[in-house]
Amino acid sequence: MQNQTLQSKHWLDKVVEGIGKWQAKHDVKQLHVDDMKTPSGRVHTGALRGVLLHDLVAQVLRQQGFDPKNTYVFNDMDPMDGLPAYLDESVFAEHMGKPLYRIPKPDLEKCGIDLSQASESELEDLRQAKNFAEIYAFDFIHAFRSLGCSQEIVWSHELYESGAMDRQIRLALDSVAQMREIYQDVAKYTLPENWYPFQVICPACGKLGTTLVTDWDSQEVTFECQPNKVTWAKGCGHTGKISPFGGTGKLLWKVDWPAHWATMGVNVEGAGKDHSSAGGSRDMANAQCEQVFKITVPFNIPYEWILIRGAKMSSSKGVGTSAREFTKLFPPTVGRFLFASRNYEQVIDFDPQTMAIPDLFDEYDQGARIAWQVEAGDQRLARAFELSQIGQAQTESFLPRFRDVALWMQYPDKDLEEEFAKVKGSELNEVEKSLLKERVSYAQIWLDNYAPSEYQLRPKADFPEEAKNLSVEQKTFLLELKDLLLSQQALEPADLQQAIFDLSKNSLGPRKAFESIYLMLLGKKAGPRAAWLLRSTDQELLEKRFEEVGKL
Ligand SMILES: [Zn+2]
């Protein structure tokens, strides 16, 4: 990195440089990086952007000699205010409005999490989850831990119950006039006279979303559990007085956020663009830091979205909708690289059904080669590669190109290790062989779910559209081929290839003949060598396909 010029400085190094200057200016002793999330159901891929951003910032801070705390808060005191489509309404309707950590967890089989690729220890974690918030938080933690994120987990309800939030609760309630002014000045929001920034958990029905605090006498708050306060939950009508301390309730979300900063000592927390707009919740929080909680306004990193496109991504059961599923699309280092290589101000627009996945692998490989100094290029890519290493960093080795792996693995006659040895110019070593194996498994996921049709070289389950216009001669040839295959089952692929060639010469000629084989199986005019393709095709499928040709 010695030759790094200002222009080629990686964005994370710039962010950390900014934090360093900010720390000196505000005389901040201990840096504390944090991010938060309400675990109200299966966590979407979009939430990974914040987690990765904060973890990468903490990583670079550590590299540069800072010693930051790095936490992730689950806002499990938040009420359930919507029921995810995959959950059973008859089970969960009665829990609407309760704090998430007080709601029983759904059955593992009915929780909406795709468990097909979960490891045994992950499953065990999910089985151990004590409540609704935990099962979805654990699922999300697995996803971001797999990408090398090392945040310490904080459960908001524990902060409340331990009394750690009491000081901020008192400050917020005592400063209610000032709070109202902040809502008015910053968000242009006029609040009623009897408004307080606190909600209690109704001692009668256990709901929080339905309660309204109408008074505060320095010891207790007066509250009502209103039947019609919100549309998504029904209060029980109970009224009373209760101490607001020690976990009996929580601050309203816009106050809860800066109150956590004040309680935990957070001073670096980025916010998604939706929170960072003028007059938005970030501005509200900042004003409260200055006027109510009297703490330094945390360093902001207003970051952009990650958009996951494609039909499969938006369907409720599609691969890649949830953070868990997204992390299964690539090896962890390549997944982390996606976030390390994109500036936080840039939207990550990721459509797995294009060439986005192979392109990402290419970029990663390029970053690796620049980092290993075997190729010249943009140092920022090399830096992104370095920052995406998890545990032991990858040492210099030959990287089999992902798109070639995906394509060649569909050629039954190709030995992948031999093919890539040819590209490399020498035998693959053990590291390279296991890397190739890993890429084969991810290429399989890509081919099964996302790859564009030009990369699909496997026999189609349904009769291909493209084969519906086979000529009479081609049809005749294919039926002769069927007999040949039946009578010559013992032939080695090389001999079979010759036999097919001979057969074609006596009828419509090799070009048209081989084309008909590919059309029938792949819906394409070309493909892997025919004998190997036929031999590797499922026998039942092959018989069915010849039958379909016969009916044309
Ligand atoms: Zn109630």
Q: How far is the CA of 161 from the centre of ligand 1 (A)?
A: 20
The pocket of ion ligand 1, defined by CB under 5 A, consists of 202, 204-205, 225, 235-236, 238
Q: In terms of DSSP H, where are the helices of 104-216?
A: 120-128, 132-146, 156-162, 166-174, 176-187
Residues pairing with 182 in the sheet = none
Q: How far is the CA of 165 from the centre of ligand 1 (A)?
A: 23
| pLDDT, tens only, 206-227 | 999 999 999 999 999 999 999 9
Q: How far is the CA of 97 from the centre of ligand 1 (A)?
A: 10
Query: Is the model more confident about 525 or about 337?
Result: 337
| pLDDT, tens only, 353-407 | 889 999 999 999 999 999 999 999 999 999 999 999 999 899 999 999 999 999 9
Contact yes or no for 15/344 (Cβ under 8 A): yes
pLDDT of residue 7: 56
pLDDT of residue 117: 82
Q: How far is the CA of 338 from the centre of ligand 1 (A)?
A: 46
The yes-or-no verdict on residue 449 having pLDDT over 60 is yes
HSE-up of residue 404 (Cα within 13 Å, Cβ side): 14
- Lowest mean per-residue pLDDT among 22-36, 104-118, 291-305, 378-392: 104-118
Q: Decide yes or no: CATH 3.90.1150.10 for domain 465-550.
A: no
At residue 488 the predicted structure's pLDDT band, cuts being 50, 70 and 90, is confident
The yes-or-no verdict on residue 2 having pLDDT over 80 is no
The yes-or-no verdict on residue 458 having pLDDT over 90 is no
pLDDT of residue 1: 43
**DSSP label at 291?**
I
At residue 310 the predicted structure's pLDDT band, cuts being 50, 70 and 90, is low
Residues pairing with 239 in the sheet = 224
Q: How far is the CA of 466 from the centre of ligand 1 (A)?
A: 64
CATH architecture of 329-455: Orthogonal Bundle (1.10)
Domains 29-162 and 465-550 share a fold: no
pLDDT of residue 273: 83
Q: Tell me the longest C-alpha to C-alpha distance in the chain.
A: 101
Q: How far is the CA of 170 from the centre of ligand 1 (A)?
A: 23
Q: How far is the CA of 91 from the centre of ligand 1 (A)?
A: 19
Q: Round the average pLDDT of the chain to a whole number and report it.
A: 93
Q: How far is the CA of 327 from the centre of ligand 1 (A)?
A: 41
Q: How far is the CA of 208 from the centre of ligand 1 (A)?
A: 8
Domain ranges (residues) in the chain: 29-162, 329-455, 465-550
pLDDT of residue 312: 42
d(CA 240, CA 338): 52
- The answer to whether the predicted template modeling score (pTM) of the entire model surpasses 0.85 is yes
The yes-or-no verdict on residue 507 having pLDDT over 90 is no
At residue 305 the predicted structure's pLDDT band, cuts being 50, 70 and 90, is confident
Cβ contacts of residue 208 below 8 Å, gap of 6+? 77, 79, 97, 98, 99, 199, 200, 201, 202, 249, 250
Q: How far is the CA of 224 from the centre of ligand 1 (A)?
A: 8
Q: How far is the CA of 230 from the centre of ligand 1 (A)?
A: 13
Looking at domain 29-162, its CATH superfamily turns out to be: HUPs (3.40.50.620)
Dig out the tokens for 201 from the structure.
Answer: 């958990």
Query: Is the model more confident about 127 or about 454?
Result: 127
Q: How far is the CA of 129 from the centre of ligand 1 (A)?
A: 26
- Lowest mean per-residue pLDDT among 1-15, 28-42, 132-146, 298-312: 1-15
Q: How far is the CA of 83 from the centre of ligand 1 (A)?
A: 19
Q: How far is the CA of 252 from the centre of ligand 1 (A)?
A: 17
Question: Residues 522, 523, 525, 530: what is their CA dihedral angle, to the nearest 10 degrees?
Answer: 20
